[in-house]
């Protein structure tokens, strides 16, 4: 068990640990950890640029330009739109001098007073404690999260839902923020809702979009996902994220479907 998904090596550089390894190749990362790392760096850039107020990352769009090799990476982030109520940050992750991921992340300034909700969020009907553990995935990223099956079959076809929480921090011993945690989990939407055999088909996502309504109440997130495939070879995985109190956010992934 690695102690984190990444460790700092100085400046904008990070070293990926074996915990980042995904299901498609032992040499490449799962998309969740590097996506969360882009949010991590974007939040830092926004904090450095905004001197006052409380800010929360509310949305990110990550484009996957290519597989991310497990090893040293560099992450650069820059504020492209600053303001009193919202900040937009562009970030790029490079490996071996080659850009592999790019993101755009919005952060919103939290108001001094609490607004009155227009709707009441309904808590989910299951909890992590009532859902059975799932341990059938054998690749390192999956082994560094706890998975508790809420509905469907994680190892079979069709829509499914699972409670999930990371077992280690994202970077060294730093706590994860809400959007970092959401990205780390939401990039598994296409995995838990696979419509095709993992042995015969690859259904890799080329992007990840996550909207976050609010900060989760604790480490656990309930990921509910469904994949829809087009015979031409494309697909879309959509997901919702809940915590114990109710809706937290949603995610979407564009899929490229190919025989393995």
156 within domain boundaries: yes
211 within domain boundaries: yes
117 within domain boundaries: no
Can you tell me the distance from the alpha carbon of 141 to that of 259, in angstroms, rounded to the nearest whole number? 23
Neighbour-count burial for 46-78, b at 16+ CB within 10 Å, e otherwise: beeebeeeebbbbbbbbbbeebbbbeebbbebe
CATH number of the domain within which 134 lies: 2.40.160.210
Q: Which residues contact 117 (CB under 8 A, 6 or more apart)?
A: none
In this prediction, residue 54 carries a pLDDT of 84
In this prediction, residue 257 carries a pLDDT of 92
What mean pLDDT value characterizes the chain? 93
In this prediction, residue 184 carries a pLDDT of 98
Taking only the tens place, the pLDDT of each residue in 183-211 is 999 999 999 999 988 888 888 999 999 99
137 within domain boundaries: yes
User: For the whole model, what pTM was predicted?
Assistant: 0.95
Q: What is the residue range of 199's domain?
A: 6-111+123-259
Question: Mean per-residue pLDDT for 91-104?
Answer: 97
Taking only the tens place, the pLDDT of each residue in 161-176 is 999 999 999 999 999 9
Q: pLDDT band for 232, please (50, 70, 90 cuts).
A: confident
Tally of domains in the chain: 1
118 within domain boundaries: no
10 within domain boundaries: yes
224 within domain boundaries: yes
159 within domain boundaries: yes
Output DSSP code: residue 45: H
Can you tell me the distance from the alpha carbon of 132 to that of 128, in angstroms, rounded to the nearest whole number? 8
């Amino acid at each position: 068990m690695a102690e984190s998904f990444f460790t700092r090596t100085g400046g904008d550089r990070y070293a990926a640990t074996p915990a980042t390894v995904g299901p498609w190749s032992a040499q490449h990362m799962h998309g969740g950890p590097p996506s969360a790392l882009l949010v991590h760096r974007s939040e830092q850039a926004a904090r450095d640029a905004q001197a006052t107020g409380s800010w929360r990352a509310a949305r990110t769009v990550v484009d996957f330009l290519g597989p991310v090799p497990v090893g040293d990476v560099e992450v650069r982030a820059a504020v492209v739109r600053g303001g009193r109520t919202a900040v937009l940050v562009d970030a790029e992750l490079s490996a071996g001098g080659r850009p592999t991921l790019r993101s755009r992340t919005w952060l919103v300034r939290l108001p001094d007073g609490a607004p009155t909700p227009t709707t009441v969020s309904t808590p989910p009907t299951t909890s992590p404690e009532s859902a059975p553990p799932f341990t059938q995935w054998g690749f390192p990223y999956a082994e560094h999260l706890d998975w508790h099956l809420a509905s469907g079959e994680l190892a079979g076809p069709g829509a499914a839902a699972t409670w999930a929480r990371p077992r280690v921090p994202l970077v060294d011993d730093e706590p994860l923020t809400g959007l970092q945690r959401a990205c780390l989990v939401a990039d598994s939407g296409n995995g838990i809702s696979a419509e095709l055999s993992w042995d015969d088909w690859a259904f890799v996502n080329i992007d990840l979009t996550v909207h976050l309504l609010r900060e989760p109440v604790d480490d656990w997130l309930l990921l509910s996902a469904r994949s829809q495939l087009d015979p031409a070879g494309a697909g879309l995985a959509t997901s919702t994220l809940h915590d114990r109190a109710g809706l937290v956010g949603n995610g979407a992934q564009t899929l490229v479907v190919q025989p393995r």
